[in-house]
Amino acid sequence: SAVEVGGSAYLQAIVRDITERKEMEDQVRQLAFCDPLTKLANRRLLYDRLNSAIATSKRRGCYGALLFCDLDNFKPLNDTHGHAVGDLLLVEAADRLKRCVREIDILARFGGDEFVVILSELDADKAESVSRAYMVAEKIRTNLSEPYALVINQEGKVDITIEHRCTASIGVALFINHEASQDDILKWADTAMYQAKKAGRNLIRFHD
């Protein structure tokens, strides 16, 4: 605000440190949109980003793809060694997934041992888009099938390393300029994923 002192005008300002408030806002945003274990997008943010990818597909006339990934033998690890070890596997799987996608792609933990990848702006040609989506899916399948060395830190004791093999079944659904809903696309990819499991697991299947 402007004040007048001795016939001269001065500008008076109040400076506040809002760093703490911004940090609080960031924490609230992270809790709302991120999975606390893997730090990936959660289901709420996934739906928002999928909506954006569908809009981009319509606007640019390019295919997008949604990949639904389910770890094949996650439950036996949980049952044998407990949820803490299962969590270690999920964190490692998330890190491997991050290395398989581009910065513009969306990676989310859908729930449990299920992950979703949204590939946006593939190509206007369907065959080329299928090829690109398959390459990413195969890269994911290969990386997730590598052996896991899960280290359990024990205070005052020697760390324990548990070796585990875990493959993934992957369903893929392409989308472009159509009126399908987010739930439709997710259902298509989920159905394809179950087809991969029924066919023997550690496989990739596309929604027809």
Catalytic residues: 113
Tokens 């770890």 map to which residue?
71
Question: Using CA atoms, how far apart are residues 196 and 113, in angstroms rounded to an integer?
Answer: 16
β-bridge mates for residue 11, sequence order: 2
In angstroms, the Cα distances linking 61 to 58, 66, 87, 123 are: 5, 16, 39, 8
Q: Assign residue 60 a region: left if phi > 0, alpha if psi is -120 to 50, beta otherwise?
A: alpha
Q: Residues 12-15: contacts with CB within 8 Å, 24+ apart?
A: none
Type of residue numbered 46: L
Contact by Cβ (8 Å): 54, 175: yes
Contact by Cβ (8 Å): 68, 189: yes
